[in-house]
Amino acid sequence: MKKILVVDDQPEVRKLVEMTLKVEDYQVLQAKSGEEAVEIGKAEKPDLIIMDIMMPGDIHGLEATRILKDDPETKECTIIMLTAKGQEADKEEGFKAGADDYFTKPFSPLELIRKVEEVLE
């Protein structure tokens, strides 16, 4: 079973993404901060991380992405940014941090599931 970590400080967004992914047979883990994302990412080594950028705490989504992509044990993990920051400069920052793809909120659950399937196949 493929493992997906959903990282967002808003519980309703995490729940929506989880419900979207439940149509397939994925194990969904959740984190509410960048710190938690790094911790769970290193411990669980998910196949995919869906990462928000703007989160409270010392480590936001871009920094968490950098940390995970710089770690030899987690660098192969695919990271999709899912964020309200949709400007071209924001996308460039996301890719520079190591993101493999970029989705903006509000998002189409159908498009997200297609992207997840594409990434995990």
Render 35-81 in DSSP notation, one character per residue: HHHHHHHHHH--SEEEE-S--SSS--HHHHHHHHHHSTTTTTSEEEE
Q: Is the pLDDT reported for residue 5 higher than 80? A: yes
Q: Read off the tokens for 108.
A: 């189409």
Q: Where are the domains of the chain?
A: 2-116
Domain at 2-116: CATH architecture: 3-Layer(aba) Sandwich (3.40)
Give tens-digit pLDDT for 22-63. 878 899 999 999 999 999 999 999 999 999 999 988 999 999
pLDDT at position 90: 92
Give tens-digit pLDDT for 57-114. 899 999 999 999 999 999 999 999 999 988 999 999 999 999 999 999 888 889 999 9
- Sheet strands side by side (includes 78-83): 26-31, 2-7, 48-51, 78-83, 101-104
What is the end-to-end Cα distance of the chain in Å, rounded?
Answer: 12
Q: Read off the tokens for 109.
A: 């659950």
Give the integer Cα–Cα distance in Å for 89 and 78: 21
pLDDT at position 2: 93
